[in-house]
Amino acid sequence: MNTYYDIAVIGGGPAGATFARELAKARPEKRIVLIDEKPRTGSKVCGGLLAPDAQKVLAQFNLDLPKSILADPQIFDVKTIDLASGITRHYQRHYLNMDRASFDEWLLELIPENVDIIRGRCHSLTNCCPGEVRVEVDNDGEKSVLFADQIVGADGGSSIVRRSFFDSPSKLYISIQEHFKDDGGDMPSYSCIYDPETSDSCSWTIRKDGYVIFGGAFDIKGGREAYFRQKERVENFLGHSFGEAAKIEACLLTSPRRVRDFISGKDGVFLIGEAAGLISASSFEGISSAFLSGKYLADAFASKNDPEKILKYYKRKTSKLRLKLLFKIPKMKILCSPLLRKIIMKSGICSIEKY
Ligand SMILES: Cc1cc2nc3c(=O)[nH]c(=O)nc-3n(C[C@H](O)[C@H](O)[C@H](O)COP(=O)(O)OP(=O)(O)OC[C@H]3O[C@@H](n4cnc5c(N)ncnc54)[C@H](O)[C@@H]3O)c2cc1C
């Protein structure tokens, strides 16, 4: 391992792994280090559904998904439940159900060997002199220090890079998920649940490899209580108990609300993926944006050397993506409005009939 790098990537999820892979291929002479705290922290808290947009980017990368990453079962519709009105509807979906931990490991394995990968937690970033950042890493109590000319923050919703150099997103939820042994009961394989009494966002159930995941997004204040209250309300509505939880997990979840929530970078520090605010406010789909922003920043580094020019190029390339995500904000407001949701669901528009 070196101590001095051209670029330190903090976070090895879809955004960081894509950036490191694409830049190392395009500019093998660059000294790149990627720091990721998994697997110590377990897998990313996620629904693990690969949306068509993300499938399209994998196709653009010429990457075929190994079968070992897929989870059981593959699901073709979402049951949408509105606890406020009691209306339920089914909508066709085209996601791939996958094991998120295996997916992230596969993406890391695709990174060329000229990138150093450190399994540890970055716990401090400081500007030591112009154009150089000191990065402190903690690996199970063992501390190490390295220096990098440029930093790429790919460290998701609770990004230390974003907190150290930029404003936090205006809206962060706490997302809580529990995993229950699947008893084969008539729990929906995939559902999207709205319950304005406990959250202004949505929740979900997903069947995965012998387990049923129940999770949702809640206000950080009082989130745990709201989660358990909602779980009880969902059980009452479905007439089915989830049973004893095998695992509970939680993380921060970004919900962009305004243009300023999307941050690209400044002064040699860049953000990609969810750390940059690039996630859908309406569905929380974030893997496709993580892929694209990682690729666009790698292209910027491959073709420019000056940090200002890299930033300009990266901003230009991501402008369409930011615009697309901006349009998800009114969509989220419509879906999370009890009245508008009731009207849409009652109309049955776009829903599918179940036989
Ligand atoms: C509950 C939930 C369900 C979701 N479901 C879906 C879904 O089904 N489909 C979908 O497309 N999107 C989903 N998303 C969104 C999606 O998971 C993210 O948008 C996407 O993973 C973002 O990728 P990323 O690489 O930017 O960040 P992440 O995937 O969050 O990766 C960040 C990486 O940085 C590492 N890290 C963080 N802090 C540090 C640190 N200090 N030091 C070192 N490493 C660090 C983490 O270990 C992690 O590996 C969901 C999000 C949540 C919270």
Same domain for 89 and 195, yes or no, is: yes
Same domain for 130 and 158, yes or no, is: yes
On the question of pLDDT at 136 being above 80, the answer is: yes
What is the predicted pLDDT for the residue at 131?
A: 86
Is residue 273 within 8 A of residue 15, CB to CB? The reply is yes
What is the predicted pLDDT for the residue at 40?
A: 66
- Written as one string, the DSSP assignment of 113-155 is TTEEEEESEEEEEEEEETTEEEEEEEETTEEEEEEEEEEEE--
Report yes or no on 321 lying in a domain: yes
Write down the pTM of the prediction. 0.98
**Mean pLDDT within 244-260:** 96
Question: 56 to each of 6, 60, 86, 235, 289, how far by Cα in Å?
Answer: 31, 6, 36, 36, 12
Report yes or no on 322 lying in a domain: yes
Same domain for 119 and 245, yes or no, is: no
Same domain for 198 and 241, yes or no, is: yes
Between 329 and 184, the more confident residue is: 329
Ligand 1 pocket, mutate which of 109, 155, 282 (most atoms under 8 A from CB): 155
169 lines ligand 1 (CB under 6 A): no
| Residues 57-96 pLDDT 10s | 999 999 999 999 999 999 999 999 999 999 999 999 999 9
Residue range(s) defining the domain that contains residue 110: 4-51+102-169+258-328
Using CB atoms within 10 A of its CB, is residue 212 exposed (0-12), middle (13-18) or buried (19+)? buried
Same domain for 177 and 296, yes or no, is: no
Same domain for 150 and 232, yes or no, is: no
Report yes or no on 212 lying in a domain: yes
Report yes or no on 62 lying in a domain: no
Closest-CA residue to 24 (of 97, 115, 151, 90): 115
63 lines ligand 1 (CB under 6 A): no
CA distance 106 to 68: 10
Is residue 198 within 8 A of residue 229, CB to CB? The reply is yes
- Structure tokens given for 24: 């190392």
**Mean pLDDT within 160-181:** 96
Same domain for 247 and 293, yes or no, is: no
Report yes or no on 335 lying in a domain: yes
Same domain for 112 and 207, yes or no, is: no
Ligand 1 centre distance from Cα of residue 44 (Å)? 6
Report yes or no on 352 lying in a domain: no
Ligand 1 pocket, mutate which of 34, 36, 325 (most atoms under 8 A from CB): 36
Residue 19 sits in a domain of what CATH number? 3.50.50.60
Region of poorest pLDDT, from 66-70, 128-132, 207-211? 128-132
The sign one gets for the Cα dihedral 32, 251, 287, 267 is negative
295 lines ligand 1 (CB under 6 A): no
Is residue 316 within 8 A of residue 323, CB to CB? The reply is no
What is the predicted pLDDT for the residue at 139?
A: 87
What is the predicted pLDDT for the residue at 186?
A: 81
151 lines ligand 1 (CB under 6 A): no
In the chain, how many domains are there?
2
- Percent of the chain at pLDDT > 90 equals 94
What is the predicted pLDDT for the residue at 38?
A: 82
Question: Cα–chain-centroid distance for residue 104?
Answer: 11
- Structure tokens given for 171: 């809206």
The sign one gets for the Cα dihedral 251, 166, 122, 317 is positive
| Amino acid, single-letter form, for residue 121 | R
215 lines ligand 1 (CB under 6 A): yes
CB atoms within 10 A of CB 65: 15
CA distance 336 to 332: 6
What is the predicted pLDDT for the residue at 42?
A: 73
What is the predicted pLDDT for the residue at 184?
A: 84
CA distance 255 to 252: 10
Same domain for 45 and 132, yes or no, is: yes
On the question of pLDDT at 309 being above 70, the answer is: yes
Ligand 1 pocket, mutate which of 161, 287, 295 (most atoms under 8 A from CB): 287
Q: What's the pLDDT band for 43 if we cut at 50, 70, 90?
A: confident
**Mean pLDDT within 253-276:** 97
Between 275 and 183, the more confident residue is: 275
277 lines ligand 1 (CB under 6 A): no
Same domain for 280 and 196, yes or no, is: no
On the question of pLDDT at 39 being above 80, the answer is: no
On the question of pLDDT at 222 being above 90, the answer is: yes
| Amino acid, single-letter form, for residue 100 | R
- Structure tokens given for 243: 């049973």
Same domain for 28 and 106, yes or no, is: yes
Residue 229 sits in a domain of what CATH number? 3.30.9.10
- Structure tokens given for 117: 């990968």
Report yes or no on 353 lying in a domain: no
19 lines ligand 1 (CB under 6 A): no
Report yes or no on 125 lying in a domain: yes
Atom 35 in ligand 1: residue holding the nearest Cα: 11
| Residues 94-114 pLDDT 10s | 999 999 999 999 999 999 999
Query: What's the chain's average pLDDT?
Result: 96
Same domain for 178 and 201, yes or no, is: yes
CB atoms within 10 A of CB 283: 16
251 lines ligand 1 (CB under 6 A): yes
CA distance 273 to 38: 17
The sign one gets for the Cα dihedral 334, 89, 176, 13 is negative
On the question of pLDDT at 341 being above 70, the answer is: yes
Closest-CA residue to 5 (of 143, 131, 191, 181): 131
Contacts of residue 70, defined as CB under 8 A and 6 or more positions apart, other chains included, come to 96, 97, 98, 99
In ligand 1, which atom is closest to the CA atom of 272?
26
